[in-house]
Structure 1
């Protein structure tokens, strides 16, 4: 292995660790102050780096937000996929995946912060990005039926919209939300 190749690998690993540290610092601020009121200077200070360093990793606040949401969507999608994998019935699997997503976001302060007053619109916008939809759609719809990628993507987009809706406008209680998911969402997501 050449030194150049080895150095590039270490550089990539360090860059990933630095970006992760910045995102972790941002997460704490999102909980303390809210997402929309957390500025780049605040994040740099909390991460212990200069603003110039912060901007090397994230060109602007939108890029920081996008990176944070994508990272958390991957983490959430992996947890959901593992949890619902043993559920054989497709209707039950999709129902549990959607409801677990809602519970996980509500119970995780760094995720719940995105659905507070003033921040839900930003969360809705970022939730519609392809990476979030792909990760969560895979968690819900993977292996349920054979369909083309366009159809699966369309259904994944709809499932993410339903989750965001439940997070921004909750049902009366858990029973009400389960009934809505079973009655209105699952029949649309699963093939007839």
Structure 2
């Protein structure tokens, strides 16, 4: 592993190097709203090729920074949906909260709704893992409502695809949170509850 740079303290292995690169990106995004391979390399005192070795594109780096930063967002989401046991209402509130918060969260905004958007991969393995973590923070007894692991994953994909459509085209003018909530309760809630009545 390359030993040059790193502010005089090179990482001991590739995992540490990758982690330090992501941490630098997280800090820069938090301060500036975005970053680049060159800025991250400069912050770490390494050449750009060193960063490229671990993250071949700026998109890959920004996505890793977003994943590193989701913990605080998930904590806020869990607090927002706390006490909602109805699956349809919980899903709707989760969507409304996410669509409202992501534009204000620079790390997630870059991954889901910004210049380096990953909306084309909204149902990727990484996005699905994020969605499963998100939905499992809800105060919903999913098995009691007919959701086994496979159906819960399908629900997560459905939820991600709904959010993707609003990230890409929020409407003109965009709906207010209350209007969006009413719209989702009218059209998305029945789909969420349909599992209870299916075979």
TM-score of the superposed pair, with normalisation by structure 1: 0.71
2: CA distance between counterparts of 1:112 and 1:138?
18
Q: CA deviation at 1:14?
A: 4.2
1: CA distance between counterparts of 2:141 and 2:63?
29
The counterpart of 1:134, out of the listed 121, 129, 138, is 129
Say yes or no: does 1:57 pair with 2:50.
Answer: no
For the structure 1 residues 13 and 134, does the alpha-carbon distance in structure 2 shift closer, same or farther, using more than 3 Å as the test? closer
Match of 1:23 in 2: 25
Deviation sequence 1:22-63 (CA, Å, 0-9, x none):
32255258735xxxxx65224323554321331343233343
2: CA distance between counterparts of 1:98 and 1:90?
12
1: CA distance between counterparts of 2:132 and 2:84?
16
The counterpart of 1:185, out of the listed 185, 188, 194, is 188
Query: 3-state SS of the aligned residue for 1:162?
Result: helix
Whether contact under 8 Å (2:99, 2:163) holds in the other structure is: yes
Whether contact under 8 Å (2:23, 2:65) holds in the other structure is: no
List aligned pairs for 1:94-133, cutoff 5 A.
Answer: 94-114=91-111, 115-116=113-114, 118-119=115-116, 122-133=117-128
For the structure 1 residues 44 and 177, does the alpha-carbon distance in structure 2 shift closer, same or farther, using more than 3 Å as the test? same
The counterpart of 2:78, out of the listed 59, 77, 81, is 81
What 5-or-longer segments of structure 2 have no aligned partner? Answer: 1-11
TM-score of the superposed pair, with normalisation by structure 2: 0.69
Say yes or no: does 1:168 pair with 2:168.
Answer: yes
| RMSD, aligned α-carbons | 3.1
For the structure 1 residues 88 and 151, does the alpha-carbon distance in structure 2 shift closer, same or farther, using more than 3 Å as the test? closer
Say yes or no: does 1:44 pair with 2:41.
Answer: yes
How many residues in Structure 1 have an aligned counterpart in Structure 2? Answer: 175
What 5-or-longer segments of structure 1 have no aligned partner? Answer: 1-9, 33-37
* Bigger fraction of residues in helix: 1
2: CA distance between counterparts of 1:184 and 1:69?
30
1: CA distance between counterparts of 2:44 and 2:121?
23
For the structure 1 residues 13 and 54, does the alpha-carbon distance in structure 2 shift closer, same or farther, using more than 3 Å as the test? closer
